[in-house]
Structure 1
Amino acid sequence: MQRATSGYGMRGSRGKGRIRPVVLSVFLGVSGVSAAFPQFALAQAYSFSNVVIEGNTRVDAATILSFAGIARGEAVSGGGLNAAYQRIVDSGLFEEVELIPQGGTLLIRVQEFPTINIINFEGNRRLKDEALAELVGSQSRRAYSPAQAEADAAAITAAYTQSGRVAATVTPRIIRRSDNRVDLVFDIAEGRVVEIERLAFVGNRSYSDRRLRQVLETKQAGLLRTLIQSDTFIAERVELDKQLLRDFYLSRGYIDMQVQDASAELARERDAFFVTFSIQEGQQFSFGDISAVSEIEGLDAAEFEALLRIRPGTTYSPAIVENNIARLENLALRKGLTFVRIDPRVTRDEQNRLLNIQFALVRGDRVFVERIDIEGNTTTLDQVVRRQFRTVEGDPFNPREIRQSAERIRALGFFSNASVEAEPGSGPDQVIVNVDVEEQPTGSLSLGVSYGQTSGVGFNIGFTESNFLGRGQFVGVNVSTGSDSVNSSITFAEPAFLGRDLRFGFNAAYVETDNENADYDTRSISISPSIAFPVSESGRLELRYRLSEDRISSVDLGIEDPDDPLTNGSSQILRDEEAQGALITSSIGYTYTYDTRINGLNPKGGVLLRFGQDFAGIGGDVNYISTNLLALAETKVLNEEVTVRAIFEGGMVHMLGGDVSRVTNRYFANGKIRGFEPNGIGPRDLGATNEDALGGNMFAVARLEADFPLGLPEEYGINGGLFFDVGSIWSLDNTAGTGGPVDDGFHLRSSIGFSVFWATPIGPLRFNFAKALVQEDYDRDRVFDLTISTQF
């Protein structure tokens, strides 16, 4: 205060030690002076012929003078000095600032913020130092800034919040060193993961809470909560869940559905969240009258209307409308008509809950795509993203096509986030398409130990990369061993061969097995290139070539005792096949697949048809035609709580040129009919001691399944199922001269059972409990089996 009355001194400090909001002592001093001597403080004026700056080492004196803004000889009031002081403080370069008038000299004394020596993180276990270092803006050998340190602490806290640790606290502090240096330390208290204890819904009548929880990206905490990250609360994920709920209802005809609110309440103990979605379903609508009309002179709508594939009375779905719009637009392009827009005009029939849709062919705006800009792809090549567009630079702009391109980019699985937006170009008829992506890891390395009732203890090592070298190519290498088997393969796939929608694949495999329930071994070495391409909206055709070498060995020869026929070991059929040695098979083949599940037109299910043939005899030692068929239909019933499924599979090997089949190309249908051991059914040589499984040239299997919840909390990922299997394996073409009766007739087998499905982080497991209903005396049944659940 005395300095203020005699010399009007001002001094401020940014604080030392722990970083906290700073109260500058100068303001208290100035306010006290102003209160005690108001006339003097307001009226006092200064004029300085000289400015002296002390304490600066890194910041140039001219820079400090420019912050102060005080010119020599200029009259400065007390308020002007205060403003000069504040400008120097606001520069963020100084820990302490003093302005001391000394007659005609103004002394500016500063203490610079220290230099950061090192940055350390303490208390962190879940997030590594390397990950945290990428979040902070403070840097070693740069001036320390309290504001930046606080911002860094907030960024670290946000990162922990994203991982579900909303109670995490981060406190920055400094440790002073010599030569005006400090160590910046972020003290981290991670806290516990705050999981979602309960996901609830209000206002849902048509679908249960259990069904709606399956739609959400967010999950409730379950048994494997330490491995599953989707059960932690993330606010951004809740916004995605709201959109997923809207899409779910809209695809089922609830066009007025709204998510009115999504609230998240933190438990009093701050260890769990309770998330509640408040929804309004509205009424379900179906398609009514469907028609097409042309508003373009000379364009007949009848041809376009004939292409519409919407049945009146079908539940409304936007995907069906989009699919038909695309069909009409493609017809217009084939006719050479550009800038034709399909405008679906919807009329609501509230009484009957119908939507009458008229597809209007109208002339669209003449707007072109000027260019497509792609950002954020540091690894993925531009061409991988560009080929997801059916539109290129210079083509007419089609908003619907741009939206579909965005969906195709997201479906690649290469990006954690992908947005596609259009903005005005260089002219009124030009549009620029901006693609902004955020890449994510696309490769995985797996090391594991497995156990199976069939294969025993085994080891597995595998590597997969779905975006090899950023080219969108798939590469996979896998080696697995069992107690008596080796299975290794190399797979490569190029999804856009020659720049077209043509998938090129190459597979090489080495398989060596010691067959259970059969006293012989097999070995197969094969390579198989293939190409696949679409032939319709839901159809795809694969063409392939396969070259393999197959060998049968270690056939049990039994004991040489002609007086005891029960010691003759394996069947003569297998001995003859072993005597042939290694045979080369060279074949070409095709598979046609029709899958309505991929287009999403029926969200409750779909149909899968798969038919393929292989023709061996293009060189090599073996001649045959192999035919295989798979038909599947599934749908959801009882408010989509239960999935019912019917599957039929069949196959036939027809040998040519007098050749006979071998166990390496016959069917065993292992796993096709549950309730039986591998190689447990099919043709047998009843005169052989061990009655080896011989396989059959034909098989047919029908399976009926139903999957349903067991009433357990859905976060456990455990569901149940019932199944009924019936089928057979039959037919051999080399039964003559075996020395004993061979049963290769058509004998139906059937089984019934119960399944438990468990969705685990290591894969979906399936526990089968089966009872064989119909079987032959020599069949070998199995009550329990554990497998990896697969989908067709």
Structure 2
Amino acid sequence: MRSVFAAALMASGAVLSFTGLSTPTAVAQEGETIRSIIVEGNQRIDDRTIQSYLLVEPGDIFDPDRIDLSLKTLFATGLFADATFDKSGSDLVVRVVENPIINRVLFEGNSSLDDDKLREEIQAAPRGIFTAARVQADVQRILELYRQSGRFSATVEPQYKPLEQNRVDLVFVMTEGPVTGVRAINFIGNEEFSDRRLRSEVVTKQSRWWRFFSSNDNYDPGRLEFDRELLRQFYQNRGYYDFRVVSAVADLTPDREDFYITYTIEEGEQYTFGEVNVETQLDKLDSDILRRIVPFRDGDLFRGDAIEDTIDSLTFAAGIAGYAFVDITPRLEADPETNKVNVTFAIDEGPRVYVERINIIGNTRTLDRVIRRELRVVEGDAFNRVLLDRSRNRARALGFFKEVEITERPGSKPDRTVVDIAVQEQPTGELSFSAGFSSVDAFLIDVSVSERNLRGRGQTAVARISASDRQQLVDVRFREPRFLDRNLSAGIDVFSTRSDFLDVSNFETQTIGGGLSLGFPLTENTSLGFRYRLQSDEINVRDLPIIINEDGTFVSSRIQTAGADTPDDFSDDQFRGVTSEDVGTGELLVDQCDIRYSQRNTLCRSERADIASIVGYSFNWDRRNDPIAPTGGFDMSISQDFAGVGGDVTYFRTEATAATYRGIFKGVRASVRVSGGFIDELGDEEGVRINNRFFRGGSSFRGFDVAGLGPREILVQINNETGEETLLQSGNSLGGRAYWQTTGELTIPNYLPEEYGIDTSLFIEAGSVGLLDQDTDFDPPSITGVGTDTTQVLVTRDDLSLRASAGLSVGWDSPFGPIRFDFSQILSREDYDRTETFRFSTQTRF
């Protein structure tokens, strides 16, 4: 193995030797012509190709100047390591030494940067030309990559191994050295904000042991310049119009392992907005109307980002008025005496600029057309910043990319621009096996195979098997976002689900079925989807033997075996269930859902197997400013389902939800969501079956247990003398035909490293469930025990009263999957509701 730069010192004709270049050694006589051109030394490149690079040909005179230019032209091709021109009689002899061909490019000593990353960055590649200039450029690029990752002491030595047929193996031997961190970040000149506050605003972080998942604590000079801009934005968004960063200095520590970074800043005075004006000479634009669009007024605190937001708003308003090309220039005049900034927005018709080309960069897996179909502009369209921002949001909403960045650069003409869309792919496929425990589902085992970007075409395929204490699920789904190459999404779903609600409502269900879906956009922000589902539902109520009289009235469901006190439930070992041996004369042993039992529970009416044929639609309106972490805008949806297109079940169900979002300041976002639903039976004399009713609680209403609020059977004790009722036991949850709910949430900073993936929020929930049908959903009171002073009665309660809770929610995007902890405080409830103050849950994403 040889050093590339040692090879450059070898004798003439050796690889990468540039000695021995010459002009003709014999002096041509005046007027003598070239009879022929003879090429020697070439191996891969044929004679004609080499002769085509020369500026002379047979029949020309021997002109030293033209021959010298021919020599330079040969070297400009990069194909030759050496070349000489000689005269042999009337012939011109061209002797060349070809540059080697690279056989392989190898890397040694690299551990922090993988081979694929390095190959993407360097020019050298197999079957490429081997030159010293290119190798040196590759060395510098590799060193730059190491500096960006914080390794300033890294060294790179290029070596080569000669092979037959003028080929070489190129090897980059690297000594990476330690990571150069940031020992401390200090600020000089800051009075209004502490060092700690300013450190939270810059991307560069101080090296600490818990930042092992992040590289932001590695020193990077490029990041330092970005941090200067972040500081400027931070201060200007808080009124400091005159703020500037005087200097940003990075000093290497004596042990050469870390840097001290020191920012010297001048905060200046705090300013407010002064007079705000909009000027325009365009006929279709009214200055007074446009001034109302400006979101700030005289006396408001000066904010730099408010200027940019206003430009976007005015550009959008001008576009609506028919002006695709406008030039909006903000003129800012600061008055140090009053600490006010007067702002004038001058609107003129700008130069017409069109999109010449759109380049998609970084999509190593996702097909170009999957990204391009989300863009709101195409080649040839008028350049529009608002539409580009929408395009970025739509590309991010796909969920295929960690980041999407859009930049523009000049095109081939002054009225042309090139748009580069750089994406960073993230994993979209998952093969997972997980086991866990939550306070809702108890044990959980989940096996799934999912791919949200199948073959890079944007298709979604999921196969999942899940089992928990409450639910067992088998689900296979497929979705095509561009069905028949149209702006139409289509999906198919096959599923089998068994749900156990014995602990909350005394029944369990088994559902097997499949469905089809079809959706399409109506406008830029609205979409409509249709669906059809065919399923078989079987509901089983818990078997409970009871003894009744011949007239169907209740006698007993348990026999006392010891003691004298009546227990609060059936689990007391002093009591046992009734058997055939306990049946007396004129009595019958039946199940609690036996039709001969005159007081059988309304829940028993749902115990049957039916086929449900359901059609429905959903309408969505999304005006959020960001699909992942919105800080402005709203979204809303409404869906309706009709069961009865064939099958045994008939009902009409409507659900609607709406939410609004607002960013308070960095790291703090507020949202308010309102939702509601109603379901009504259509011709079914037995009412809405319990599995089709609405249940709230658990993850859908924090602070309450699963199905913890709403209509419920309860056991009460009535004082025979005063009529006062005392709750003894909460029984089955019955669900409701209607519900409403409002959720307010405030995302707050937790000051933990971002790489931990922990988010915290405060929440408040308010709502209710109820509205049972008095004719079909209520049982007559059932007397379960009669004493001298009291009577025990089983009744149904449907108090559509307010329930409310508040608390703290902590989410962790852990390596084992998303985990959430909810700490709740009940604000309003009914005595028979089931509540919880803590809930731990896991979630599987698809």
Q: TM-score, normalised by structure 2?
A: 0.67
Kindly state the Cα deviation for residue 399 of structure 1 after the two structures are TM-superposed.
6.6
Q: Partner of 1:669 in structure 2? A: 697
1:521 aligns with 2:532: no
Q: For each residue in 1:676-727, what CA deviation from the matched residue of structure 2 results, as whole angstroms up to 9, or x when unmatched?
A: 4323333323369993333223334455655545565666555655555454
Q: Partner of 2:770 in structure 1? A: 730
Instruction: Please tell me whether the aligned partners of residues 630 and 650 of structure 1 are also in contact (alpha carbons under 8 angstroms).
Output: no
Q: Partner of 2:557 in structure 1? A: 565
> Aligned AA for 2:2?
G
Tell which deviates more after alignment, 311-320 or 487-496.
Answer: 487-496
Q: Partner of 2:610 in structure 1? A: 581
1:488 aligns with 2:542: no
Q: For each residue in 1:631-664, what CA deviation from the matched residue of structure 2 results, as whole angstroms up to 9, or x when unmatched?
A: 5565537xx5766666555444444546425333
The gaps in structure 1 that reach 5 residues or longer are 1-15, 28-44, 77-83, 100-106
Residue in structure 2 matching 1:295, options 281, 302, 306:
281
Residues in 1 aligned to 2:450 and 2:7: alpha-carbon distance in whole angstroms: 55
Is the partner of 1:786 in helix, strand or coil?
strand
Kindly state the Cα deviation for residue 573 of structure 1 after the two structures are TM-superposed.
3.5
> Aligned AA for 2:604?
R
Residues in 1 aligned to 2:160 and 2:325: alpha-carbon distance in whole angstroms: 65
- 1:295-694 matches, within 5 Å, as 295-296=281-282, 301=287, 312-315=298-301, 316=303, 317-333=306-322, 344-348=330-334, 350=336, 353-360=339-346, 362=348, 364=349, 367-369=351-353, 372-376=356-360, 380-381=367-368, 385=372, 388-389=375-376, 393=380, 404=389, 417-423=405-411, 425=413, 431-441=415-425, 444-448=428-432, 449-453=434-438, 454-455=440-441, 456-465=443-452, 473=458, 475=460, 477=462, 479=464, 481-483=466-468, 484-486=471-473, 488=475, 490=477, 492=479, 494=481, 506=491, 508=493, 510=495, 512-515=497-500, 517-518=503-504, 519-523=506-510, 525=513, 526-533=515-522, 540=526, 542=528, 544-545=530-531, 547=533, 549=535, 551-559=537-545, 561-562=547-548, 563-565=555-557, 572-579=601-608, 581-592=610-621, 595=624, 606=632, 608=634, 610=636, 612-614=638-640, 616=642, 619=645, 621-631=649-659, 636=664, 649-657=675-683, 659-686=687-714, 691-694=731-734
Q: Partner of 1:41 in structure 2? A: none
Q: For each residue in 1:620-641, what CA deviation from the matched residue of structure 2 results, as whole angstroms up to 9, or x when unmatched?
A: 532234243445565537xx57
Residues in 2 aligned to 1:711 and 1:239: alpha-carbon distance in whole angstroms: 24
Tell which deviates more after alignment, 474-483 or 716-725.
Answer: 716-725
Q: 1:368 to 1:46 in 2, by over 3 A?
A: closer
Q: For each residue in 1:454-485, what CA deviation from the matched residue of structure 2 results, as whole angstroms up to 9, or x when unmatched?
A: 33222243534469756xx5635362513242
Q: Partner of 1:173 in structure 2? A: 159
Q: Partner of 2:172 in structure 1? A: 186
What is the root-mean-square deviation of aligned Cα atoms in Å?
5.8
Kindly state the Cα deviation for residue 433 of structure 1 after the two structures are TM-superposed.
2.2
Q: For each residue in 1:554-603, what CA deviation from the matched residue of structure 2 results, as whole angstroms up to 9, or x when unmatched?
A: 43122355453366679834332231523233233435556577799xx9
Q: Partner of 1:79 in structure 2? A: none
Instruction: Please tell me whether the aligned partners of residues 588 and 616 of structure 1 are also in contact (alpha carbons under 8 angstroms).
Output: no
> Aligned AA for 2:771?
S
> Aligned AA for 1:565?
S
Q: For each residue in 1:387-412, what CA deviation from the matched residue of structure 2 results, as whole angstroms up to 9, or x when unmatched?
A: 7355873x7x5675587578568757
> Aligned AA for 1:612?
I
Instruction: Please tell me whether the aligned partners of residues 683 and 730 of structure 1 are also in contact (alpha carbons under 8 angstroms).
Output: yes
Kindly state the Cα deviation for residue 439 of structure 1 after the two structures are TM-superposed.
4.7
Residues in 2 aligned to 1:181 and 1:773: alpha-carbon distance in whole angstroms: 79
Is the partner of 1:574 in helix, strand or coil?
helix
> Aligned AA for 1:555?
V
Is the partner of 1:736 in helix, strand or coil?
coil
Is the partner of 1:671 in helix, strand or coil?
coil
Residues in 2 aligned to 1:303 and 1:771: alpha-carbon distance in whole angstroms: 48
% identical equivalent positions: 24
Is the partner of 2:606 in helix, strand or coil?
helix
1:746 aligns with 2:804: no
Q: 1:276 to 1:509 in 2, by over 3 A?
A: farther
Instruction: Please tell me whether the aligned partners of residues 159 and 171 of structure 2 are also in contact (alpha carbons under 8 angstroms).
Output: yes
Q: 1:137 to 1:722 in 2, by over 3 A?
A: closer
Kindly state the Cα deviation for residue 325 of structure 1 after the two structures are TM-superposed.
0.9
Residues in 1 aligned to 2:625 and 2:99: alpha-carbon distance in whole angstroms: 67
Q: Partner of 2:581 in structure 1? A: none
> Aligned AA for 1:330?
G
Instruction: Please tell me whether the aligned partners of residues 443 and 463 of structure 1 are also in contact (alpha carbons under 8 angstroms).
Output: no
Kindly state the Cα deviation for residue 134 of structure 1 after the two structures are TM-superposed.
4.8
1:768 aligns with 2:822: yes
- 1:123-162 matches, within 5 Å, as 123-138=109-124, 145=131, 148-162=134-148
Kindly state the Cα deviation for residue 326 of structure 1 after the two structures are TM-superposed.
2.9
Kindly state the Cα deviation for residue 675 of structure 1 after the two structures are TM-superposed.
3.5
Instruction: Please tell me whether the aligned partners of residues 162 and 234 of structure 1 are also in contact (alpha carbons under 8 angstroms).
Output: yes
Kindly state the Cα deviation for residue 329 of structure 1 after the two structures are TM-superposed.
0.8
Instruction: Please tell me whether the aligned partners of residues 390 and 405 of structure 1 are also in contact (alpha carbons under 8 angstroms).
Output: no
Instruction: Please tell me whether the aligned partners of residues 393 and 627 of structure 2 are also in contact (alpha carbons under 8 angstroms).
Output: no
Is the partner of 2:708 in helix, strand or coil?
coil
Kindly state the Cα deviation for residue 512 of structure 1 after the two structures are TM-superposed.
1.6
**Number of residue pairs the alignment of both structures matches:** 729
Q: 1:25 to 1:387 in 2, by over 3 A?
A: closer
Kindly state the Cα deviation for residue 17 of structure 1 after the two structures are TM-superposed.
3.1
